[in-house]
Structure 1
C-alpha cells in the first residue's frame, strides 16, 4: 500500500501486486459500492480473484433489491474485468435463468479457475454448458452442489436413454465434494474429461459407493487414470476406489480418516487397502488427514499394514500426517509406529477446518 503513494509511476504496479492475487468478496453488504468501483474503471484491469455471494439464504439481507446481489439479475453488471482468473459463486438456491451460462461466458471470458459452493443448477446440462463455454477454464470445484432436474432414483439417471454424451473439455483439475447430494451426475460426466491430471473427491459418510457410484467412479478413473498425477480422496464410508491405473501418480492425500470416539478399527481399513493398490513408480508424497478424537483412537489405524505399504513404495520421499490436536504426542507416536523408514516424516496440526484444495500440489 505504501508503494502506491510514492508517485504516479508506482501506482499501476502497486495496484497489480495488491489486487491480482487478493480475493475480493462481494455480498449484500458491499455489492452497490463494488458496482460503483467498477463504473470508475480504476481497478478493473487489476482484479484477478472474485468471490460472489448471493443473498438468497443470507439472513443478513434486510434492504431492497437495489442493495442485494442475485446471480440471475446482477451477474452481468460485474462485466469488464479483463484479467479475472478466479471466480467463486456461492449460495444460490433458486433456479437459474436460461441465459445464465451465456451471461457468465460473456462477462468472464478470462476465467481459468471456477468454484461453485452451495449452489443449485436448474439442470446438470446447464452446468456442462457453463464449463464448455469458458475457453480458458482449467479447474472447476463443486462443493455442496445440487441439480433441480434429477430423478429421485440415481439408477433412472444412469439408464436414461436420452442422457447426453458429453464432449471432451480442457479441464485438468476437478474438485468434487459431494456432501448430502448424489455424485452420480458428475461421475457420469468425468470420463469425458480426458485431460484431468488432478482430482479431489470427498465422499459423505452416508454414501456407501458400493451399489452405483462405485462402478461409475472406477469407470472414470480407468478413463483418465493413466495421466492422473495428483489425487485427494476422502472416504469415511470406507469405499475404496480402484487406483491400479494411476501409474503416473505423484501425490496422494487421504482425508476424513475417522479416528473419533464413534469409530471402530474397521472404519479405517480402507486406508491400507487403498495404499496396496498403488503401483506408481513416480509417487513421492502421501498425506494423511486424520479426524482424531482421543489419543488412544490413533490405534484404530492398522499401523503394521500401513508401514508395510509405505515401505513397499520405493519412490516415496515425503509422508505427512495432519491432525486437529495432539501434535507433539502424535509426532512421537507415529514415528515409533513407522520405524524404520526411507522417507521424510512430518506431523502437523490443522489450523481450522480442513479445506479440499489442490494448492499443495503447486509446491
Structure 2
C-alpha cells in the first residue's frame, strides 16, 4: 500500500489506533520526509495522528512563499487562535512588486509573531526605497542566519549597515540592491556578524567591502560571489581577498566585462591558499582567455579542484588557439594536482569544448553543459 493510500485510509478512519503503532518516531519522520514535495499527501498525513503531525507540518510550512495573492490569507492563518502553523515556519520568501500590488509595508509586520524564522528572502521591485516599517520588521528577526535581498533600494548606505548589523548570527548574505553614493564609509558602533560564511554582492560592492575592512576582524567568508565587478571596485576587492586569505574556498565572478584587461593585474589569489573552486564568466577571445590563464596561474592552493568557465559561445580560431592550449596545459599540469573538474558552460557551440581543451577531455576532468 502506498503512503498516499495509507494516509487517506487513516484520515477517514474512525479508529483511535495510531498507524505504525510501536514504530520509532524517527522512522516515521523519515518516511514522511520522502513525501516532502507532495503537499496534498502532507496535508493528509498531518491529520492521521499526533505522531505524524510535526513532520508533515514542517514540510508544509517550513518554506513559505508569499506574494500579493496569498499574503493576507497567510497572516489570517497565523493570527488565528487555533493556528498550529507558526512553530513550523523557518523560511519566508516574500515578493513585493508594483505590478502585483504592494503588500509588504502593510502585512510584513504581522510576521514578527513567527518565533523560529531563520531565513528571509525579500524581492521588492518597486521604484522606491524600502520603507522604515519594512526595515524595522526585518531587523526584528534577530535569529536570522540567512538574508537575501533582491531588487531592493535603500535611502542611504547607513540603512544597509544598520540592517546587516541587526543579525548577530548571520551566515549567508545575498545583497542585490541600490543606494546613493555615501560621502564617506565610516566604522559603525555595531559590527557585522562574525559568522558570515557566504557573501553574494550585486550592488556597490566597494562600499560594503570597504566597511567590512574597517572592522577589527573580518568574518572568514568561504564563498564569495562578485556580480557586476567594475574597475572602481578592484582595489577594494583586492584588499578584501588578501584579508580573507586561506578562509576563502569558493570565488565566483559571474560576469567579467570592462575589467577584463585589469582583473589579473589587480587581483592576487596567491594568498587564498585553500581555494577549491573558481568560476569566471568570460568570452572566447584573446583578452578573456589570457586573463583566465593568468588568474589561474596565480593560485597556490594544493586543494584547488574545480574551475568553471561560463561563456556565451565556445569559439575556435587560429587567433585564440594558442590561448586555449595554454589554458588546457595549465589545468592538466602539475600546478593543480587535485584538479577534478574543468567545466565549460555555454549557450552555443558547447561541443567545441572537447576540441579546445583536449587534454582535459583525455584526463576525464572536462565537463560540458549548456546554460
Counterparts of 2:310 and 2:129, CA distance in 1: 36
Indicate the residue corresponding to 1:169 in structure 2.
193
Indicate the residue corresponding to 2:49 in structure 1.
8
Indicate the residue corresponding to 1:243 in structure 2.
269
Residue ranges of structure 2 left out of the alignment (5+ in a row): 1-39
Counting only pairs closer than 5 Å after superposition, residues 66-81 of structure 1 correspond to structure 2 as: 68-71=102-105, 73-81=106-114
Counting only pairs closer than 5 Å after superposition, residues 281-320 of structure 1 correspond to structure 2 as: 281-292=302-313, 295-296=315-316, 300=320, 302-310=323-331, 311=333, 312-320=335-343
Higher RCO (C-alpha 8 Å, min separation 6): 1
> What is the CA distance between 1:203 and its match in structure 2?
2.0
Counterparts of 1:168 and 1:251, CA distance in 2: 25
Counting only pairs closer than 5 Å after superposition, residues 140-159 of structure 1 correspond to structure 2 as: 140-143=173-176, 145-148=177-180, 150-151=181-182, 157=183
Check whether the contact 1:5–1:11 (CA below 8 A) recurs between aligned residues: no
> What is the CA distance between 1:97 and its match in structure 2?
4.4
- Cα displacement string for residues 118-142 of structure 1 (whole angstroms, at most 9, x for unaligned residues): 1111221211211211122111011
Counterparts of 1:185 and 1:120, CA distance in 2: 15
> What is the CA distance between 1:249 and its match in structure 2?
0.9
Indicate the residue corresponding to 1:29 in structure 2.
69
Indicate the residue corresponding to 1:336 in structure 2.
358
> What is the CA distance between 1:185 and its match in structure 2?
0.9
Counterparts of 1:330 and 1:284, CA distance in 2: 23
Counterparts of 2:277 and 2:293, CA distance in 1: 16
Residue ranges of structure 1 left out of the alignment (5+ in a row): 62-67, 152-156, 351-363
> What is the CA distance between 1:102 and its match in structure 2?
3.9
> What is the CA distance between 1:116 and its match in structure 2?
0.9
State the SS of the aligned residue for 2:251: strand
> What is the CA distance between 1:266 and its match in structure 2?
2.0
Counterparts of 1:3 and 1:25, CA distance in 2: 17
Check whether the contact 2:289–2:324 (CA below 8 A) recurs between aligned residues: no
C-alpha RMSD over aligned residues? 2.7
How many residue pairs were aligned? Answer: 312
State the SS of the aligned residue for 1:322: strand
Counterparts of 2:318 and 2:68, CA distance in 1: 44
Check whether the contact 1:229–1:249 (CA below 8 A) recurs between aligned residues: yes
Residue 299 to residue 86, structure 1, CA distance change in 2 (3 Å): farther
Check whether the contact 2:167–2:192 (CA below 8 A) recurs between aligned residues: no
Indicate the residue corresponding to 1:233 in structure 2.
253
> What is the CA distance between 1:99 and its match in structure 2?
5.8
Check whether the contact 1:19–1:46 (CA below 8 A) recurs between aligned residues: yes
> What is the CA distance between 1:326 and its match in structure 2?
3.9
> What is the CA distance between 1:246 and its match in structure 2?
0.3
Counterparts of 2:100 and 2:123, CA distance in 1: 15
Check whether the contact 2:42–2:60 (CA below 8 A) recurs between aligned residues: no
- Cα displacement string for residues 270-313 of structure 1 (whole angstroms, at most 9, x for unaligned residues): 21121111111111222222221x75489758212212321221
Counterparts of 1:60 and 1:299, CA distance in 2: 50
Indicate the residue corresponding to 1:359 in structure 2.
none
Indicate the residue corresponding to 2:34 in structure 1.
none
TM-score, normalising length from structure 1? 0.77
Counting only pairs closer than 5 Å after superposition, residues 261-280 of structure 1 correspond to structure 2 as: 264-280=285-301
TM-score, normalising length from structure 2? 0.75
Structure whose CA Rg is larger: 2
